[in-house]
Amino acid sequence: MNEIRVRSHARSELIEITAQLQEVVAQSGVAEGIVVVQSLHTTAAITVNENADPDVRHDLVQKLSQLAPREESFYRHAEGNSDSHLKTSLFGPSLTLIVHEGRILLGTWQGIYLCEFDGPRERRVAVQLVGSGNGTKK
């Protein structure tokens, strides 16, 4: 198991972590298999989405703010971040992705994101690889 750390700078933002994850896979020596990427937090999720146009990230954050506003009279959780827990549950804490030829298999416009919903803060992301390779780490 590996771990990467990600620093967020806003309460809600999508931070691309594709390059960091590709590096973990490259260092592992796994050529074919799967990688599980998991947020170790209840207010931060993991997702795959477009990485070519930053407006997509903006639009997602804005729409989520409408769907689950920060201030709602029916929230009971005393920490004031019930919206963050809800958003994380909508996206999910983890992804399982295919590793092919020593790289995470992604489409042309896809990137992997840590979805921060209760920042800014440092986040931990666990990375577990399962598969086979040439047996040597790069």
CA distance 101 to 108: 16
Angstrom distance (rounded) from CA 14 to CA 2: 21
CA distance 138 to 57: 33
- pLDDT value of residue 35: 98
User: Which residues in the chain belong to E strands, given as ranges?
Assistant: 2-7, 13-16, 30-39, 44-50, 94-100, 103-104, 110-116, 122-133
- Residue 76 has what pLDDT? 86
Q: What is the pLDDT of residue 59?
A: 97
Domain boundaries, the chain: 2-70+78-133
Tell if the pTM clears 0.75, that is, is over it: yes
pLDDT of the chain along its 138 residues, tens only? 999 999 999 999 999 999 999 999 999 999 999 999 999 999 999 999 999 999 999 999 999 999 998 887 888 887 888 999 999 999 999 999 999 999 999 999 999 999 999 999 999 999 999 998 864 555
Q: Which helix (H) or strand (E) holds 63?
A: helix 54-67
CATH 2.60.120.460 holds for 2-70+78-133: yes
Per-residue pLDDT, 137: 57
Cis peptide before 120 (omega within 30 of 0): yes
> Which among 109, 67, 119 has a CA at the least distance from the CA of 91?
67
